[in-house]
Amino acid sequence: MAINTINSILLILQSHGEIIQYIIIYSLMFIEGPIVTYIVSFAAALGYFNIGIIFVLGILGYIIPEIILFRIGGLLRTNSLKKVVSYFGLHKKRIAWLEKNLKNHTIKTIFIIKTIPPLPIPGLVLCGFIRMPFARFFWINLIFDIMYTIIFVLLGYYMGLAANTSLKYFKLTQYMLPLAVILAIFIYLLIRKISSIEIRKIKN
Residue 14 placed within a domain: no
Q: What is the pTM of this model?
A: 0.73
> What range does the domain containing 66 cover?
37-203
% of the chain with per-residue pLDDT over 70: 63
Higher pLDDT, 163 or 175: 163
Residue 166 placed within a domain: yes
Residue 2 placed within a domain: no
DSSP letter string, the chain: -HHHHHHHHHHHHHTS-HHHHHHHHHHHHHHHHHHHHHHHHHHHHTTSS-HHHHHHHHHHHHHHHHHHHHHHHHH--HHHHHHHHHTTT--HHHHHHHHHHHHHSHHHHHHHHHHSTTSHHHHHHHHHHTT--HHHHHHHHHHHHHHHHHHHHHHHHHHHHHHHHHHHHTT-GGGHHHHHHHHHHHHHHHHHHHHHHHHHHHH-
Residue 26 placed within a domain: no
Q: What is the pLDDT of residue 116?
A: 72
Q: What is the pLDDT of residue 57?
A: 93
Per the structure, the count of domains in the chain is 1
Residue 85 placed within a domain: yes
On the question of pLDDT at 23 being above 80, the answer is yes
Residue 24 placed within a domain: no
